Every structure is written in structure tokens, then in C-alpha cells.
Amino acid sequence: MEDENIALNSVLGLELNRVFFAVREAANKKRIVEFAREVLDSERAKPSESASPEGPAG
């Protein structure tokens, strides 16, 4: 599952780069960057799905 997430994130990152460089207007590029930052922040705020609710084993 984690490998799938890594692969998906790589594809999304490449697509974001493609769109960013296809856009000519600086204002639209700024919006793309702001949107990407919002998505990253929301993903970082989510609890990890792979984390055990009991905490680390040990």
C-alpha cells in the first residue's frame, strides 16, 4: 500500500510540474503553488493510516 502511495505521489508531482510549466501567467502559477501547498498541508495533518492505534510495539 505504501509503495502505491509513493508511486501515486510521484505521478502527481510530475503532472503538477507539467501543468506549472504549461501555464504562462504568473498569477496562475502562483495559484497552482498555493493549491499544492494546501494539499500538502492537509495531507500532513491527516493521521497516518499505517500507524498502529496501540503505538509502537516493543
What pLDDT score was predicted for residue 50?
Answer: 55
Written as nine digits, the cell of 56 is 509502537
52 is a domain residue: no
What is the rounded distance in angstroms from the CA atom of residue 24 to the CA atom of residue 47?
36
49 is a domain residue: no
What pLDDT score was predicted for residue 47?
Answer: 72
What pLDDT score was predicted for residue 57?
Answer: 56
Rg of the chain (C-alpha set): 16
If the chain, 58 residues long, is cut into consecutive pieces of 10 residues, what is the mean pLDDT of each piece? 83 87 91 88 75 54
53 is a domain residue: no
22 is a domain residue: yes
11 is a domain residue: yes
34 is a domain residue: yes
Written as nine digits, the cell of 37 is 501547498
What pLDDT score was predicted for residue 51?
Answer: 54
CB 30 within 8 A of CB 36: no
- Our measurement of the distance from residue 46's CA atom to the centroid of its chain's CA atoms, rounded to an integer in Å, reads 12
The boundaries of the domain holding residue 28 are: 2-44
What is the rounded distance in angstroms from the CA atom of residue 46 to the CA atom of residue 17?
24
Domain count, the chain: 1
